[in-house]
Amino acid sequence: MYFGRGKNKVQNPITIVDIYKDYIKNIGGSEDLYYVDYNTFSNIWKEYISFIIEEVLFKGKKFKMPNNLGVLQIIKKKVSSSNILTMPIDWKTTLEVGKKVCFFNDHTGGFKYLFRWNKTNSTIKFKYYYAFSATRTLKRKLARLIIDNKVDFFEYQN
């Protein structure tokens, strides 16, 4: 019996259409000097997001978000082999061997790489209720860059 995927965490996500409607409402309509149609707005938005991804992912830079929302960056963190409970499990090898086997990230020198939204200096209310979740495509691009050894990121210190 299949019951479906279930409800998403975000029930009312804000999309680019919502952002465009808000933009039109704030500028006052098509007579305004800053008016652009939806297709142009969408192309500008996509180009801007691509630029941010290129700077953060391919050049290893930090992106300081507007309105004091914090900093988005990719960090590398040393994997602690002393705390075996928090290490990711290699399920394929575990099933073959018959006992728990963990990933030690030998190919990266014992580091794991993460997208991190640093909200410590942010002034938004209830900031700990918000989270950044990278898309699968971005995670795969990051993995490919790490495997190819094309970029290095800042090491995160606790």
Q: Please give the pLDDT value at position 82.
A: 64
pLDDT of residue 45: 92
In this structure, the answer to whether residues 54 and 64 fall within a common structural domain is: no
What's the pLDDT score for residue 11? Answer: 61
Please choose, from the candidates 62, 92, 89, 88, the residue with its C-alpha nearest in 3D space to the C-alpha of residue 74: 62
In a domain, 3, yes or no: no
Which domain does 115 fall in, by range?
Answer: 60-158
Domain's final residue, options 26, 41, 59: 59
**Residue 2 falls inside a structural domain:** no
> Would you say residue 133 lies in a domain?
yes
Within 94-142, strands assigned E span: 111-118
Return the pLDDT at 127.
84
Do residue 88 and residue 135 come from a single domain? yes
- How many Å apart are CA 62 and CA 71, to the nearest integer? 6
**pLDDT for res 46:** 92
What is the Cα–Cα distance from 104 to 110, expressed in whole angstroms?
6
Q: Give the residue ranges of the chain where pLDDT is below 50.
A: 1
Residue 109 CB partners (closer than 8 Å, separation 6+): none
Q: What is the pLDDT of residue 3?
A: 55
Number of domains in the chain: 2
Q: Do residue 152 and residue 83 come from a single domain?
A: yes
pLDDT of residue 126: 85
pLDDT at 42: 94
> Can you give the pLDDT at residue 129?
81
Task: Give this prediction's pTM.
Answer: 0.68
Answer yes or no: do 99 and 27 share one domain: no
